Amino acid sequence: MAFVIPSLPLSLPLPPLCALDLADAYEHFSEGKLNITMRLKILFPFLDKALSDGVIGVVVFSPNYCKSYFCLHELALFTESKKKVIPIFCDIKPSQLRVPSKVVCEENEHQRFSWALEEAKHTVGLSFNSFKG
């Protein structure tokens, strides 16, 4: 999960969500009409633009974070664009961050994701253990 802190001014309009308007997209998502591949094809351009326009990214790492292609893609975008990343490690140690072999991606993406995780591992962040509070 990642949060983007946008650059100023905050009043800029968001780019259109590909060919679908937001109401139409919401209807498709809520009714499950789009499979996951179609959802990603629709959302990626929108999110890539938002991430590239942001100034700071707050990334919340969890035990399942590295299993998500979507999360790894966002992290790679942050690191490739040299954005400031504030990592929060929730119930996971930085040394445990690895791209699992089960993540379906091309070889160059696997290297890209591994590099982004290495950068995040060596960035000072916050740790949170939900068992200790």
Average per-residue pLDDT for the chain: 76
Does residue 52 register a pLDDT over 70? yes
C-alpha to C-alpha distance for 49 and 15, rounded to whole angstroms = 8
Query: Is 107 among the residues known to form the active site?
Result: no
Is the pLDDT confidence value at 58 over 70? yes
pLDDT in tens, 105-125: 778 888 999 999 999 999 999
Indicate yes or no: pTM above 0.85: no
Domain 57-133 in CATH 2.40.33.10? The answer is no
For the chain, the structural domain boundaries read: 18-53, 57-133
Q: What is the mean pLDDT of residues 84-103?
A: 89
Q: What SS3 state is found at 28?
A: helix
Report CA torsion sign: 113, 115, 119, 125: positive
Of the candidates 27, 31, 74, 80, the residue annotated as catalytic is 74
